[in-house]
Amino acid sequence: QVCQVEDRLKYSVATVVVRVLSENSFPPVFNTTTFKGFIIQSSSPASIVTTYGNQVLQVQVSDQDFSDGVNPNIRFFLHPPSRLYQVTQEGVLIARTDQLRAFDRHILQVVARDEESGEEASASVDIEVLQRGQAVPHGAFTEQQLFGDVDSRLAGGIAALILLMFLSAFLFL
């Protein structure tokens, strides 16, 4: 209770609520820095973004402040906000499929915020828009793996060709 010095009959009452937060030692952490997503072009107004093997893409964070690693106070959002994509509080991305074009590629930033401590973590989502009827890839492969296989087959073919030329030259001479 607070009152005026000259007139003690003029006073105010205020209520203060103090919220005690649990100690927060660790920020949320995504299980990867970049997620890969695919969406098939469609006239449907909305579709769930998938990842390799046509599995639902779910961005996830862990928080070591919790014994099971699951912080119930995490809120996901896109930064900057997108008119083409949304992220649910479970970390599932939803696309406005009818506004996407095949062969487009979108890079999104997903932020996970601990609503109690204010700590944040972010990760990228690389989304490719596939054309109707195109299958979602089953797994990731790198350019190095792809060209590494091509180079070894090419080298084997060249070696066989040189050996064949050497043998034919040796037989005719």
pLDDT in tens, 106-137: 999 999 999 988 899 999 999 999 999 999 99
Task: Report if residue 104 sits inside a domain.
Answer: yes
Q: What's the domain count of the chain?
A: 1
* pLDDT of amino acid 91: 96
Residue 120 burial (C-beta neighbours within 10 Å; 0-12, 13-18, 19+): middle
Q: The domain containing residue 59 runs over which residues?
A: 24-134
| Domain assignment present for 60 | yes
Q: What pLDDT was estimated at residue 154?
A: 59
Give yes or no for residue 153 having a pLDDT over 60.
no
What does the pLDDT read at residue 30?
A: 97
Q: What is the pLDDT of residues 1-17, one digit of tens each?
A: 677 778 877 777 888 88
Please report, for the domain that includes residue 90, its CATH number: 2.60.40.60
- Which residues touch 140 (CB under 8 Å, ≥6 apart)? 36, 52
The verdict on residue 149 lying in a domain is: no
Classify residue 153: in a domain, yes or no.
no
Partnered with residue 48 across adjacent β-strands are 94
pLDDT in tens, 47-75: 999 999 999 999 999 999 999 999 999 99
pTM higher than the cut 0.95 = no
